[in-house]
Amino acid sequence: MATQPPKLKKGFAPISFFTEVIGELRKVTWPSRQEATRLTLMVLTLSIIIGIFLGLFDMLFARFFSILSNT
């Protein structure tokens, strides 16, 4: 006996959608305050380091091309 595939609902059911969203959010393992703070600081530090690196790299290329074009 072949099993039938589940029927898909047509259209958008907002109440069902939000009920499922809340159910999924309850399954999430949220980080502790300490872990969230530590990870935020890591992201900010890495962003600053990469920003400085890219800024210096941009200045180097700008100076290199200004020397090439004699301006």
How do residues 25-51 score in pLDDT, each as one tens digit?
999 998 999 999 999 999 999 999 999
d(CA 24, CA 70) in angstroms, rounded, equals: 61
Q: What is the mean pLDDT of residues 52-57?
A: 97
pLDDT at residue 12, as a whole number: 75
Share of the chain above pLDDT 70, in %: 85
Instruction: Find tokens 């393992």 and name the residue.
Output: 29
Nearest of 31, 50, 27 to residue 39 by alpha carbon: 31
CB under 8 Å to 39, separation ≥6 — which residues? 31
